[in-house]
Structure 1
Amino acid sequence: MEHRYDVLVLGAGAAGLMAAWELSAAGRSVALIEARGRTGGRVHTLQEPGIGVPIELGAEFIHGDLPLTQHWSARAGLSSYEVEGSIWQYKKGKLQEQEDFIEEEAALKPVWESLTDDISVGTLIDRYLQGPGYEALRFTLQRYVEGYYAGNLEQASAFALRRELEGQEEAQCRLASGYGALLRAIDTECAHQGVLFCLNTPVHSVEWGEGYVRLQATDGRHFLGTTLLCTVPLGNWLAGDIGWTPSLPDKQEAARHLGFGPVVKLILRFRTRFWSDETNRKDLNFLFSDTTIPAWWTAAPKTDALLTAWLGGPAAAALQHLTQEQLVGRALSDLAQMFGKTKDWLRLQLQTVHYHNWAKDPYCRGGYSFEVVDGPHWQKLLSAPVARTLYFAGEGLHAGPQIGTVEAALQTGQAAARQLIADHAVG
């Protein structure tokens, strides 16, 4: 027996959950179809006994004052705390503190004033920041774009970087119980509102016509709906993982022009916080390095002995083929070099390892999106509804500085759901 739903929501990450909540709250029958065996998508929180902070294999930080994140945090009774601590760099064999994420940032002021058209950050460096006087700035710009955006210099928007650096500095926070608790709150309310959850259900094709959608799962099942709200990550668009009949060439073309960075994340738990042996490193928070793994952070201001090794953008692309054990070996070699320890000593100190290679994950094929030159134009094309039947959402479709965040996913999921409801309002 076939069941037909008002809306099929494809993907149960933040965008899909938010969309399903909006639609079911408005009285629509909703089937939420997810390839993984869990909801949450690129939010993946683990709880490890014996430590006071959650393990975040996916999204971790809350960037600034975010309305939907705050709303659902309050609704679920979740608390957050500000991320505090010092920023360090290891370059050419020297470990030293730096004042901010971007060293010598003041040198960018005349560059920003001369820019009338957007260019890539790579072009900006090649055109304006050559010579020995800009060495520190080039190093921290590259580490910032690749380590923070998970982007690459040849695509990342200089205008977006300028807006961020010239804007008011925003607090960076973590949820005390982890991002997963926030999405579980939405998940629970969706279930109470009658949303059907179909987990472990990868979809390989979508057949559609005006007012009709049929999803074909890899296990042979199919799902019928009047409309579809698609929230699959940009990486799956780029890989062509879903076949559309009729095809959507404009959507595929738009996806090819957008930025989506690979990410590999490794979280190491040690017996002691050996990196804070020196008095002036007691509050070490972020560390950018010219070693194999370019970005690191601690649990600061919490004192748990956790270190996150982060590869984003080109660094992740270059090392995504490594196994977990191989990457742990590289990480320990880097730490031995930076902190004057032996690799064998560090291995004895190592207690647990958590790892996820988002670049190789078949259900996202990367970490998250970043702003590119002409990005809003292509985002508009990819997110535009088709024939009042196909709707689209996801963090990569958010035009603005919140792109790549959970908040962006929540906002686009809400907006697409509300557009669908408005388009099909009765009377």
Structure 2
Amino acid sequence: MSGSPILILGGGAAGLAAARRLSAAGVDSVILESRSRLGGRIVTDRFSTGELCDGGPEFLHGSSPLFDEILQEAGIRSDTMPDRHLVREGNELVETRFGGEWETIFGRLNDYDGPDLSFAEFLRQFCEDVPADARRMATEYVEGFNAADQELISIRWLRSSEQSVGVDEQGIRRLQGGYDQVVAALEKSASRSQIELETDITHVSSEPGTGVRVTATRSGGPRTYEGRCAIATFPIGVLQAGVLRFVPDSVRRSDAIRGFRMGEIIKAVLLFREPFWRDTLAELGGFLHVPGRTFMTWWPLGESRVLTGWSGGPRAGAISRMSTEEIRQVALDDLAEGFGLPAAEIASHLVEDWVYNWCQDPWALGAYSYATVGHAEAHAPLQAPGPGGLFWAGEATDATFPATVAGAIHSGDRAARQALEWLSSQGAPRT
């Protein structure tokens, strides 16, 4: 086994970041990825007219030195979006002080030092005096931005997440040219990695002293891969589905995994014949909110003809089993409500669309994770090395930038460093 590579189980941001670190250390690795492409939940498509479409991550959250280093090395630039929030009042779109309302509630959340509660319970117990509209907006933010069920999400986890990945001094940033540039940059830096796509892992054995053995199916047949150690980057939704078997199993790790939920997200990215919204508002910037609707938040892609609709949390879950055509219609109806226009008129402008239903994606089973009440530290057991040289990465395992691409990248880099240290402790050569 001394000459075997390190196995990286998953070719998303975490797996590629691990491969980047290992390659820089001169260590060979094999990336096993179920999809037919790298990137995991990062996906950028193009409309037939050339406009890009980010179906997964789109924004940069917080300030991550490692992520910024990767972007700088690759020459990837970002734009800052206006931090404006608009809602319809009567026949007009007006700007709302969303941030101010959230800051009032978040201030109380920061001061709270009692037992862990769900966000909904926190509002009931400590925010009854806050205006109903402010509580509603805060709830829609938690269920939308965090893709969470307000009755389940831990306020201790939420507080930590907001402190880490809320809007920083750099504002709301979006990458120029698509998020798939990040995947390309990471793949380029993983120069010592062999990549195996369309490889469905079913069994991971990491008995101490034997190395790691992975059983998978590829090209319709069984395959076995052996490595000195392995880095597992499976999404929480996949781990909770029970489709993977680990030997030996870890009760502590299994309990930690059960402490998470996968956030539910559906994105509808719509290309229109012309940017009709400019007739309603000369310079629409920032975010359009449609309170009470399924697709509660919309934003334009710069000066293009593209609008993106976002549905998060239980509202996304409620429509997740609809057909793509039905989801598109829900999105159009909600957009029409937001602009105060007939749905048929909105639909008449539509040229193409992409609908990304992450709830039903078989390789993720959700968008990103959040911790439930009593499990705010569930990431900790997943940061600890497992038996026999099995290490864990993925956005759920990162406490600094939870539920983000930055967190996934940090976790992959951390797991790779753990693997290198473990190899040294075993007296094994790195190459």
Structure 1 length-normalised TM: 0.90
Stretch moving more, 173-182 or 105-114? 105-114
Matching residue's letter, 1:128: F
Instruction: Tell me the equivalent position of 2:242.
Output: 240
Instruction: Please give the root-mean-square deviation of Cα atoms over the aligned residues, in Å.
Output: 2.6
Contact 2:296 / 2:311 at 8 angstroms: preserved in 1? yes
SS in 2 for 1:396: helix
Report the counterpart of residue 379 of structure 2 in structure 1: 379
1:273 match: 275
The residue type equivalent to 1:412 in the other structure is S
Amino acid in the other structure paired with 1:145: V
What corresponds to 1:13 in structure 2? Answer: 12
Q: Matches of residues 395-406 of structure 1 in structure 2 within 5 Å? A: 395-400=395-400, 402-406=401-405
Shift of 1:165: 7.0
Q: 1:280 to 1:289 in 2, by over 3 A?
A: farther
Q: Structure 1 residues 348 and 160 mapped into 2: Cα distance closer, same or farther (>3 Å)? A: same
**Counterpart contact for 2:154–2:376, Cα < 8 Å:** no
Q: Determine the structure 1 residue equivalent to 2:341.
A: 341
Q: CA–CA distance in 2 between the matches of 1:56 and 1:104?
A: 27
* Conserved? CA contact 1:266–1:356, under 8 Å: yes
Deviations 1:179-211, CA, capped at 9 Å, x for gaps = 111121111222x32x11000101111123114
Match of 2:177 in 1: 177
1:336 CA drift (Å): 2.3
State the match for 2:297 in structure 1.
295
Q: Which stretch shifts more, 232-241 or 339-348?
A: 339-348
Greater Cα shift, 90-99 or 261-270: 90-99
Q: Structure 1 stretches of 5 or more lacking a match? A: none
Contact persistence 1:104–1:136 (CA under 8 A)? no
Tell me the distance in 1 between the aligned counterparts of 2:118 and 2:92.
30
**1:197 and 2:195 are equivalent in the alignment:** yes
Q: Which shifted more, 248-257 or 107-116? A: 107-116
2:151 paired residue among 149, 154, 157: 154
| Separation of aligned partners in 1, 2:167 and 2:295 | 29
Q: State whether residues 143 and 295 of structure 1, in contact with CA within 8 Å, keep that contact through their aligned partners in structure 2.
A: no
Match of 2:137 in 1: 140
> Mean Cα displacement is larger for which, 359-368 or 155-164?
155-164
User: Which residue number in structure 1 is paired with residue 354 of structure 2?
Assistant: 354
Contact 1:118–1:157 (CA under 8 A) maintained in structure 2: yes
Q: Distance in 1 between matches of 2:353 and 2:261?
A: 30
- Superposed CA deviations along residues 54-101 of structure 1, whole A, max 9, x for unmatched, are 310011100132212211111111111111152123589985421234
What is the distance in 2 between the residues matched to 1:277 and 1:284? 16
2:403 and 2:116 map into 1 onto residues whose CA distance is 20
Task: Name structure 2 gaps, 5 residues minimum.
Answer: none
Q: Kindly state the Cα deviation for residue 51 of structure 1 after the two structures are TM-superposed.
A: 5.0
Structure 1 Cα separation of the partners of residues 254 and 85 of structure 2: 40
Partners of 1:286 and 1:159 in 2: CA distance:
29
How far the C-alpha of 1:17 sits from its partner, in A, is: 0.4
Secondary structure, counterpart of 2:101 in structure 1 = coil
- The letter for the 2-side match of 1:370 is Y
Contact 2:123 2:135 in 1 (8 A): yes
Write out the 4+ residue segments of structure 1 that deviate beyond 6 Å after TM superposition: 91-94, 165-168
Q: How far 1:49 moved relative to its partner?
A: 5.0
What CA distance in whole angstroms lies between the structure 2 residues aligned with 1:93 and 1:143? 23
Contact 1:91 1:290 in 2 (8 A): no
Does the CA-based 8 Å contact 1:230-1:392 persist in structure 2?
yes
Question: Do the aligned residues in 2 keep the contact of 1:388 with 1:420 (CA within 8 Å)?
Answer: no
Distance 2:252 2:215 in 1: 22
1:374-413 CA-to-partner distances (Å, cap 9, x unmatched) read 445321112321234110000011113x211111000010
Q: Which residue is equivalent to 1:66?
A: 64
Structure 1 Cα separation of the partners of residues 199 and 96 of structure 2 = 47
